[in-house]
A and B are shown apart, each in its own frame.
Chain A
């Protein structure tokens, strides 16, 4: 009885060893890959992830499925990937907020849901500079008018954001810090409500991705003043960047990039980088991104790591500048 049990155990162990051995040698990818999007369907991350996944499928000749794992402003999905098995079969499509969330956790002294060093960067897919828009019925014609008025009336000009410590909030904070002004922050639950607020005249200014506000700029409801990018936005050639205006600290992008868990084997990472590199050249992918009016900005390997680290550093400073928010 006893020996039979032991024999069974030994057989099981042998089987387990064999199967892991076989797995280590199997060509990558041998199974479907899961691309986790930590935000709900229909958002920027989701709409970027789906064409990327479709284009990667063609290159890898293996299915790439998009899974929305949402919650706590993305922390749930990011934590899920950070702690999942680093075998190259679970990937993450994250936005700029990946570097903000751990910083905010640190600020409040709570155990972080994840840290940025739990991820291996694969590639940057898109980077959209935010632009500063104000209601068209406000007197400010240029960023200079806006800054002068804000200097005269500290804390009186209100802006909406996608949420406290959210991307749109951080963009505005980096700008206020660079320009030495103080604005009034009214957080909303998401970028959509923040846009509704400025269209309804409940706030004066908003930092936003260009695609979302372009129709309202064209219809004359909103006026663009300046952009956070290194270069001007193609669709708005007359709008200067903060850099040109002498505020180099005000640089911010809403970017989307692919990550894997940190200990993913280097051969798998290399395969993934090559597949993304081919995928961003895919005409279907280009067409999908054109419809979203999101510029493709492909960077990989060391180049992406540098971009990511510089961005994370800027945002960490931004979060610390904001500090803990005091409210009424």
Chain B
């Protein structure tokens, strides 16, 4: 404990030097921009800027890249709330209730809660990273394919709770998403599936074009199709901050999202994206008013936004403690360390204490910077809503196309986005929710890979999925959840879905 504090003091002595603060600031600003622009997510942002860090020293480079990563998680909520366009994949859930809050004139409150939730999650999870990194990293490594499969099955069960409407429709959308996720090279045999000779489809359908198309483009098309354009929301200054009641409603979801995001974040792989989905489902499950979800529930913004920020710190645990790339973004950061002659690995903390503790301390500093940066920006961003639709929407369209193209420099991605926009419009008209499609596209390749890797490990014995302790436990929890889901069928009570249907009859849907 004392030693950790001494180390932290060393870290702050590094992090508070003007040069390091400057690059932390630059990273945070760039990250916020990367998050705000639809399409470009933290991975693309870090990759594009990696070469620019080659001239810096190792500490500054890592501090700046990390700033881009968690800065993007702050920024990603902005367009989700204001325009229903996910700035990056982890902000998809924020689109639902964040945008609903904005339609009710609470855009400022939603943005402020997202920023404060991100700050709390970011800061608390760095404390956890500092004290728990070595033991947690060893635990995280025990997540092999069977454990990952079990975790993802849990994520899939979450689907059942995600939609407010018909369960049948939600599952149909999830199935569509899973099918879309099957496109691309079969990772186990090298076959091209459903690619029809298009080499670009080899990597499968990206989450970014799907999410931007289904949410952003569909929203623009739907608005364009209205007989009278929706009234321009003119936010008043005093309405910018969340009310006392909104703060109270967001406190617990922020706490739960922080813990959940961190735990999911340490698991190697791209699990951080599902942290926001799982958080949303949990909040809805625990809420006394689940019928509010989808119509501007504060918890539906606070939980997922905290979870995705805290997951970024979690992802650094295996990277810093063991030198293991726990996902695509830590992998790029490890490469950046190698370029600077720092060999990442289990000895990093001992051999390069200035780098490790400077990095940790810079994350405290970075989160403060982001809060200071983002709260005043709430006022600026909210004023974007004053822009008349004939000007606003075409500009958004341009940014969507640019952002999606910039990720891989691929025109095929732009076409996918346009097709998904058209699909999303039709589905909206037919009253289907599209979030399960996005989750399906994210989960399908991961769950398939983990399942088949498990079978490759066990030479085809299915028992491997239940006999390993972590995997078995996770699947058992999943089983219990599934049973709880079936309870209303047996108990014949009015569950929240039925209440929602009743409430829906009373009011007109937008």
Residues of A within 8 A of B (CB): 40-43, 46-47, 50, 66-73, 75-76, 79, 104, 107-108, 110-111, 113, 155-156, 158, 163-165, 184-190, 192-193, 195-197, 199-203, 211, 214-216, 218-219, 221, 288, 290-293, 324-328
Contact = CB atoms under 8 A, between A and B. Distances in A.
Contacts of B344: 215
A215 B346 contact: yes
B347 interface: yes
**Most chain A Cβ neighbours within 10 Å, of B141, B188, B449, B455:** B188
A66 B202 contact: no
B325 A196 contact: yes
A149 to B, nearest CB: 16
Contact of B199 (A79, A155, A164, A190): A79
**Most chain B Cβ neighbours within 10 Å, of A73, A79, A113, A164:** A164
Contact of B202 (A73, A215, A219): A73
B352 to A, nearest CB: 12
9 contacts: A40-B47, A41-B335, A66-B51, A73-B202, A79-B199, A165-B190, A184-B456, A199-B141, A328-B460
A326 B456 CA distance: 10
B191 A108 contact: yes
Contacts of A328: 452, 455-456, 459-460
Nearest to A69: B409
A136 to B, nearest CB: 12
A72 B341 CA distance: 30
Given A71-B200, A291-B338, A328-B455, A200 B345 contact: no
A43 B50 CA distance: 11
A219 B142 contact: no
Interface of B: 47-48, 50-51, 54, 141-145, 185, 187-192, 197, 199-200, 202-203, 268-269, 318, 322-326, 331-332, 334-336, 338-341, 343-347, 408-410, 449, 452-453, 455-457, 459-460
Given A67-B409, A71-B408, A108-B191, 20 more contacts: A40-B332, A41-B47, A41-B335, A42-B47, A42-B50, A68-B47, A71-B199, A71-B410, A72-B185, A73-B185, A76-B200, A76-B202, A165-B190, A193-B325, A197-B144, A215-B343, A216-B323, A290-B341, A325-B189, A326-B189
A73 B185 CA distance: 9
A327 B455 contact: yes
A164 B268 contact: no
Contacts of A215: 323, 343-347
Nearest to B457: A186
A70 B187 CA distance: 17
Nearest to B332: A42
B183 to A, nearest CB: 12
B197 A75 contact: no
A221 to B, nearest CB: 7
Contacts of A190: 331
Per CB-CB distance, the 6 closest pairs between chain A and chain B, nearest first, are A215-B345, A72-B202, A42-B335, A202-B144, A192-B325, A200-B141
Contacts of A156: 459
A196 B324 contact: yes
Contact of A41 (B141, B269, B332, B346): B332
B131 to A, nearest CB: 22
A323 to B, nearest CB: 11
Contact of B203 (A42, A71, A185): A71
Contacts of B191: 108
**Most chain A Cβ neighbours within 10 Å, of B202, B326, B452, B455:** B202
Contacts of A69: 409
A55 to B, nearest CB: 13
B326 A155 contact: no
Nearest to A292: B338
B268 A193 contact: yes
B203 A327 contact: no
Contacts of A186: 145, 453, 456-457
Given A40-B47, A202-B144, A215-B343, A189 B187 contact: yes
B143 A291 contact: no
Contact of A196 (B189, B203, B326): B326
A187 B338 contact: no
Contact of A202 (B145, B202, B335, B449): B145
A66 B54 CA distance: 14
Contacts of B54: 50
B395 to A, nearest CB: 28
B187 A163 contact: yes
Nearest to B145: A202
B360 to A, nearest CB: 20
B188 A327 contact: yes
A218 B456 contact: no
B331 A192 contact: yes
Contacts of A111: 197
B452 A327 contact: yes
A42 B44 CA distance: 12
Contact of A113 (B199, B332, B410, B452): B199
B322 A47 contact: no
A166 B410 CA distance: 23
A293 B409 CA distance: 31
A184 B220 CA distance: 51
